Amino acid sequence: MTTTSEITVDDVTARYDPVIGLETHVELGTMSKMFCGCPTEFGAEPNTQTCPVCLGLPGALPVVNVKAIEYTIRIGLALNATIATWCRFARKNYFYPDMPKDFQISQYDEPLCTDGYLDVMVDSEQFRVEIERVHLEEDTGKSLHVGGATGRIQGADHSLVDYNRAGIPLVEIVTKPIAGTGSLAPVVARAYVTELRELLRGLDVSDVRMEQGSMRCDVNTSLAPKGAAAWGTRTETKNVNSLRSVERAVRSEMIRQSQVLDEGGRIVQETRHFHEDTSSTTSGRSKEEATDYRYFPEPDLVPVAPDPAWVEELRAALPDSPSVKRGRRQAELGLSDDEMSWLVNTGALQLFAETVAAGASAADARKWWLGDLARRANAEDVELAELAITPAQVAGLARLVADGKVNDRLARQVLDGVLAGEGEPEAVVASRGLAVVSDTGALDSAVDNAIADNPEVVAKIRSGKVAAVGVLLGSVMKATRGQADAASVKAMIAQRLGVEL
Amino acid sequence: MTASSSLTSGTAVEIAALIAAGEVSAVEVTQAHLDRIASDDGALHAFLRVDTDGALASAKAVDDQRAAGESLGPLAGVPLALKDVVVTRGLETTSGSKILVGWIPPYDATITARIKAAGIVILGKTNMDEFAMGSSTENSGFGPSHNPWDLDRIPGGSSGGSSAAVAGGLAPLGIGTDTGGSIRQPAAVTGLVGHKPTYGGVSRYGLIAFSSSLDQAGPFGRTVLDTALLHETIAGHDLSDSTSIPAPVPPVVAAARAGASGDLTGLRVGVVRELGGHGFADGYEPGVLTSVGEAVEVMAGLGAEIVEVSCPHFGYALAAYYLIAPSEASSNLARFDAVRYGLRVGDDGVRGLDEVMALTRQAGFGPEVKRRIMIGTYALSSGYYEAYYGQAQKVRTLISRDFAAAFGAADVLVSPSTPTVAFPLGARTDNPLAMYAADLCTLPASLAGTPAISVPSGLSDGLPVGLQIMAPALADDRCYRVAAAVESALDARRGHPLLHEIPIR
């Protein structure tokens, strides 16, 4: 594997124009599966949510789940797409054990929704991502390959298949090629998936949990020499299953492709696998090895012809778009455009709002999420949402500071404790002994000692060099192991020395 | 004729009446048929497996119902031979294929459930061409069935086990499935009545799919009325099959009863020129054309107006069918991959998945099934789809238009059900195209999804000939009405039902 650390996206876009495209699979949150009545709940014992239909037993037939059609149409409408008045399902034929029928019921040349768009904001700039199609299909089962080093089928001792997921309704949302984003390409990709996730969440059609696989992305990337008329050969990166990974997959492919092109090589049209641990991609299946899916209209199902009046009812009942909702929320939370855009694109808006709802001021929520917590997430290379702290705990921490129970410095130690799993902020304060020293007797003597021990400093302060007060302050803090409130200590020193500080 | 043999040669209506009147128990009727199977099925090989315990239990349930004073359905206690393509809960179902040996379904097909609910006694599962691909049962993974009229001849196919059973006295009723003619052709060559319902008229849920857009289950009987009663039992909308038609079942039983009076005044009968008519008689046996011609004259004698109609695209039906059906089959049969059920070959812990799949399919599928999977896979391939599958679908549309035009000129269309009488076993096994020709007359109605019935017209060289009567979609009752009229007129002329002339009974 080539090391790519020394090249940046800006280096790449100095010489090449990237074009990206995204295919997003979303499991719909219907009660029952796409073509049978089996439940769809995540995490059940393997193969307990199956029946002859989703197991593809001989003779079984599919029946369309109307709720899934409704959800897909609502997604299409929210993405400003055209809803087909007549369309069909198609069979996508290929052999794989996690596909019970050895074909997948999908849609081919007649998707339910076409030609939409979704606007996303990056660095206060709006990008319109055009949507090619939204179609409906059934999910496959899940394979578990046991015994190999890679967890892939090659080299495994044996494989297990769980068909609970087989037949869960899956919507595929495909963008048109996104050009003209330059070095923002990775961020635009992430912003698009983030915005799409918000939109789907707002429609209440999926729980959109990337970590559980209910939302999954394939990312297409190509490079062309700057200013070239034709686009370059694209690769399709699979298995991109977090917002951060979307951004990284695009970045890593841009850098890898630029190196190949720089060395005079050619990009092979292929699928590539994204590896979360290394943030890099490895070669998968090339176009030459690609399966001929032998699509043909699914003869077991009748065409879908949504009543236009019904579609209009669904359109009228759509919730406000995420951007409208965000505008309202931004005003409520008192956030700037940049802060808002940052929170949205890091997926932290919900955390932020919940923190405010838990009693923190917007200023405090901003201070913690955009400050300390953002730095820590960055340092640990995780999403804000992945930090081991809840919005309620952040609000609790803010409350401790506001009540004067801890100072900012102690608050950071409380944060350490919460993140280390030591419990609620109050419990961390107690267990670590971090409460501000408010015993005036102890504080009085610490201040007195500091003044008595540092006559030269006292002289400097009295002669007007007030900055020297820091030395006394430090001394008091040292004596109280940092648990004194700095403002109170300063006031006590000023009073004793008879100066304005 | 012994008491037992009268039970096994009677019609379903007669047997049901005896049971309802308490003159014989359902258990006795079932036992008589089980005895008959024990003595005769060695020669016929109609059944792949007989469900002795299940059949006697069902029969006893009917007797118990009757003893409890509950009302019985019109076919309660009547035994039936069920084609092995129909899924039966707890009873091995193979679709005539070695690849499914040992598969015990955990569910009942909709028609299985309806048959059971009607108190009809399922004797067992009948032989068939593997996955319903064939016209003779010679493609069965378990050896052919034999025609009771001449044991050296085929009983038709693919539903040949059911036709052999019903004609041979092993069961008064049978279920077949018809994709390109697999009910009508076996009915014709064994002297039975067999009906292919309007596509969507009978649920396909639990039929092991061959060609989804063509498959239809339907009844075999010794009389038009028996056949209609079984049709009414299995037909009707089913929420488990999206292609099932949400419409009332056509009044087939009433039509069969009304037709028996024999009056066809005002009925326009269209003789399809392209199916054995002037200039299109090649491949049709003269004896078949003569017999069918006589039946048409009988219809005229009953008051029908006979017209000739032309359906110019029927000549392309065979080519279109042999692209559409294999294409769908190549996809439908993909699931037999050794992973979840049925045969598994070569799983030695060393061979990989692909190899085990390939070895299993190589060992489990017979040559005709492999041929059709290959044809279908090719026809759907990228770059060939439009030229093959796409064109075939256009032909299908043209054939439907031919029907629409013809039904403007005639109320029903008629033709031979199949161009020849039963051919000898082995006569066409080396020539797939000759085998396919057995379906020449039945394919158009299959492709158009319209109903068609085969009713005996007489004998040619001592072997039965079938008359096919075709009607527009959802006018299945018209098929039954006309068939009943032809049946009663021919029986009257002959002095007895054709089946009484069967030599071995």
pLDDT in tens, B120-144: 999 999 999 999 999 999 999 999 9
Q: Do B95 and A102 touch (CB under 8 A)?
A: no
Asked if the C-beta of B52 comes within 8 angstroms of chain A's C-beta atoms, the answer is no
The Cα–Cα gap between B121 and B171 comes to 10
The residue written with tokens 């939109």 in the block is A199
In our burial notation (b when 16+ CB lie closer than 10 A, e otherwise), range B141-151 reads bbebbbbbbbb
| pLDDT tier for residue A95 given thresholds of 50, 70 and 90 | very high
Given a contact cutoff of 8 angstroms between Cβ atoms, the answer to whether A87 and A110 are in contact is: yes
Residue in B87, B242, B330 closest to A58 by CB: B87
A477 or A216: which carries more pLDDT confidence? A216
A207 vs chain B: nearest CA distance in angstroms? 29
Give the percent of chain A with pLDDT over 70.
Answer: 96
User: Model ipTM?
Assistant: 0.95
- Confidence check: pLDDT of B3 > 60: no
| pLDDT tier for residue B56 given thresholds of 50, 70 and 90 | very high
Tens of pLDDT, residue by residue over B136-168, are: 999 999 999 999 999 999 999 999 999 999 999
Return the structure tokens found at A164. 């609970």
Residue B166 half-sphere exposure toward CB, CA atoms < 13 A: 36
Q: Do A97 and B335 touch (CB under 8 A)?
A: no
Closest C-alpha among B86, B432, B396, B381 to residue B214? B396
Radius of gyration of chain B (CA): 21
Amino acid at B324: I
In the prediction, which pLDDT does A123 show? 81
Phi-psi region of A404 (alpha: psi -120 to 50; beta: other; left: phi over 0): left
- Confidence check: pLDDT of A353 > 50: yes
Give the H/E segment covering residue B56: helix B52-67
Catalytic, B71? Answer no
Contacts of A60 in chain B (CB under 8 A): 107, 205-206
Contacts of B385 in chain A (CB under 8 A): 294-296
B460 or A457: which carries more pLDDT confidence? B460
Chain A residue whose CA is closest to B377: A294
What lies within 8 Å, CB to CB, of B340 at 6+ separation is A55, A56, A100
- Confidence check: pLDDT of A164 > 60: yes
List B58, B83, B125, B417, catalytic entry: B83
Return the structure tokens found at B66. 């009757």
* Beta carbons within 10 angstroms of residue A262's beta carbon: 13
In the prediction, which pLDDT does A437 show? 67
The residue written with tokens 């041929």 in the block is B371
Q: Do A299 and B382 touch (CB under 8 A)?
A: no
Contacts of A290 in chain B (CB under 8 A): none
Asked if the C-beta of B334 comes within 8 angstroms of chain A's C-beta atoms, the answer is yes
Tens of pLDDT, residue by residue over A45-71, are: 999 999 999 999 999 999 999 999 999
The Cα–Cα gap between A429 and B17 comes to 90
Catalytic, B310? Answer no
Determine the residue among A34, A300, A301, A302 to mutate to test chain B binding: the one whose Cβ has the most chain B Cβ atoms within 10 Å: A300
What phi and psi values does residue B448 have, to the nearest 5 degrees?
A: -85, -10
- Confidence check: pLDDT of A338 > 90: no
Range name among A53-67, A422-436, B473-487 with the lowest pLDDT average: A422-436
Q: Which of A3-7, A185-189, A322-326 has the highest mean pLDDT?
A: A185-189
Q: Do A97 and B337 touch (CB under 8 A)?
A: yes
Contacts of A292 in chain B (CB under 8 A): 381-382
The Cα–Cα gap between B156 and B163 comes to 8
Return the structure tokens found at A194. 């983030």
Average pLDDT over residues B282-289: 96
Return the structure tokens found at A305. 């012809």
Given a contact cutoff of 8 angstroms between Cβ atoms, the answer to whether A431 and A417 are in contact is: yes
Q: Do B212 and A300 touch (CB under 8 A)?
A: yes
In the prediction, which pLDDT does A494 show? 84
Given a contact cutoff of 8 angstroms between Cβ atoms, the answer to whether B162 and B220 are in contact is: yes
This prediction has a pTM of 0.87
B102 vs chain A: nearest CA distance in angstroms? 13
Let me know how many helices (H) and strands (E) chain B has, helices first.
17, 11
What phi and psi values does residue B91 have, to the nearest 5 degrees?
A: -125, 120
Range name among A359-373, B75-89, B216-230, B416-430 with the lowest pLDDT average: A359-373
Q: Do B331 and A60 touch (CB under 8 A)?
A: no
Let me know how many helices (H) and strands (E) chain A has, helices first.
17, 15
Asked if the C-beta of B362 comes within 8 angstroms of chain A's C-beta atoms, the answer is no
What angle, 0 to 180 degrees and rounded to 10, lies between the N-to-C axes of helices A440-453 and A469-479?
130
Chain B residue whose CA is closest to A154: B352
- Confidence check: pLDDT of A33 > 80: yes
- Please calculate the CA angle A142-A146-A149 and round it to the nearest 5 degrees: 115
- Confidence check: pLDDT of A452 > 80: yes
Return the structure tokens found at A50. 């199956």
Asked if the C-beta of B241 comes within 8 angstroms of chain A's C-beta atoms, the answer is yes
What lies within 8 Å, CB to CB, of B377 at 6+ separation is A294, B330
Distance of CA B331 to the CA centre of its chain: 23
B74 vs chain A: nearest CA distance in angstroms? 28
Asked if the C-beta of B84 comes within 8 angstroms of chain A's C-beta atoms, the answer is no
List B9, B58, B95, B158, catalytic entry: B158
Distance of CA A296 to the CA centre of its chain: 36
- Confidence check: pLDDT of A424 > 70: yes
Determine the residue among B328, B337, B374 to mutate to test chain A binding: the one whose Cβ has the most chain A Cβ atoms within 10 Å: B337
Average pLDDT over residues A122-142: 94
Contacts of B211 in chain A (CB under 8 A): 299
Instruction: Give the CA distances from residue A255 to residues A243, A291, B253, in Å, rounded to whole numbers and listed in that order.
Output: 19, 28, 75
- Confidence check: pLDDT of A492 > 90: no
| pLDDT tier for residue B5 given thresholds of 50, 70 and 90 | low
A310 vs chain B: nearest CA distance in angstroms? 21
In the prediction, which pLDDT does B313 show? 98
Which SS3 state, helix, strand or coil, does residue B208 take?
coil
Q: Do A57 and B382 touch (CB under 8 A)?
A: no
Give the percent of chain B with pLDDT over 90.
Answer: 96
Classify residue B421 as exposed, middle or buried by CB count within 10 Å of its CB (0-12, 13-18, 19+). Answer: buried
Q: Do A95 and B357 touch (CB under 8 A)?
A: yes
B 194-223 residues with CB < 8 A to A: 204-209, 211-213
List B9, B58, B95, B182, catalytic entry: B182
Tens of pLDDT, residue by residue over A170-224, are: 999 999 999 999 999 999 999 999 999 999 999 999 999 988 889 999 999 999 9
In the DSSP assignment, the letter for residue A369 is I
Average pLDDT over residues A287-303: 89
Range name among A231-245, B54-68, B73-87, B482-496 with the lowest pLDDT average: A231-245
The Cα–Cα gap between B36 and B333 comes to 35
Asked if the C-beta of B105 comes within 8 angstroms of chain A's C-beta atoms, the answer is yes
In the prediction, which pLDDT does B1 show? 38
Catalytic, B370? Answer no
Contact pairs from chain A to chain B, CB under 8 Å: 99
What lies within 8 Å, CB to CB, of B337 at 6+ separation is A95, A97, A102, B357, B360, B361
What phi and psi values does residue B367 have, to the nearest 5 degrees?
A: -60, -40
Residue in A55, A59, A294 closest to B208 by CB: A59
- Confidence check: pLDDT of B504 > 90: no
- Please calculate the CA angle B399-B401-B403 and round it to the nearest 5 degrees: 75
Instruction: Spell out where B116-215 has E strands.
Output: 121-126, 173-178, 193-196
| Domains of chain A, residue spans | 9-315, 328-432, 440-497
| pLDDT tier for residue A499 given thresholds of 50, 70 and 90 | confident
Given a contact cutoff of 8 angstroms between Cβ atoms, the answer to whether B131 and B369 are in contact is: yes
A440-497: in CATH 1.10.10.410: yes
H, E, C per residue of A81-135: CEECCCECCEEEECCCCCCCCCEEEECCCCCCEEEEEEEEEECCEEEEEEEEEEE
Chain B residue whose CA is closest to A64: B242
Given a contact cutoff of 8 angstroms between Cβ atoms, the answer to whether B379 and B326 are in contact is: yes
In the prediction, which pLDDT does A2 show? 47
In the DSSP assignment, the letter for residue A223 is E
Given a contact cutoff of 8 angstroms between Cβ atoms, the answer to whether A272 and A236 are in contact is: yes
Total count of residues recorded for chain A: 501
* Beta carbons within 10 angstroms of residue B226's beta carbon: 27
In the prediction, which pLDDT does B460 show? 98
- Confidence check: pLDDT of B452 > 70: yes
In the prediction, which pLDDT does B410 show? 98
Total count of residues recorded for chain B: 505
Given a contact cutoff of 8 angstroms between Cβ atoms, the answer to whether A100 and B336 are in contact is: no
- Confidence check: pLDDT of B493 > 90: yes
What phi and psi values does residue B48 have, to the nearest 5 degrees?
A: -85, -35
The Cα–Cα gap between B58 and B124 comes to 12
Tens of pLDDT, residue by residue over A391-412, are: 999 999 999 888 878 888 888 8
In the prediction, which pLDDT does A1 show? 42
- Confidence check: pLDDT of A148 > 80: no
In the DSSP assignment, the letter for residue A210 is G
Tens of pLDDT, residue by residue over B320-337, are: 999 999 999 999 999 999
- Confidence check: pLDDT of A16 > 50: yes
Given a contact cutoff of 8 angstroms between Cβ atoms, the answer to whether B407 and B367 are in contact is: no
Q: Do B339 and A97 touch (CB under 8 A)?
A: yes
- Confidence check: pLDDT of B195 > 60: yes
Which SS3 state, helix, strand or coil, does residue A254 take?
helix
| pLDDT tier for residue A446 given thresholds of 50, 70 and 90 | confident
Q: Do B327 and A58 touch (CB under 8 A)?
A: no
* Beta carbons within 10 angstroms of residue B312's beta carbon: 13
Q: Do B380 and A294 touch (CB under 8 A)?
A: yes
- Confidence check: pLDDT of A501 > 80: no
Closest C-alpha among B231, B181, B159 to residue B415? B181
CATH number of B3-270+412-494: 3.90.1300.10
Asked whether the CA dihedral A30, A33, A37, A38 is positive or negative, the reply is negative
Residue in B241, B335, B377 closest to A102 by CB: B335
Which SS3 state, helix, strand or coil, does residue A325 take?
helix
In the prediction, which pLDDT does A42 show? 87
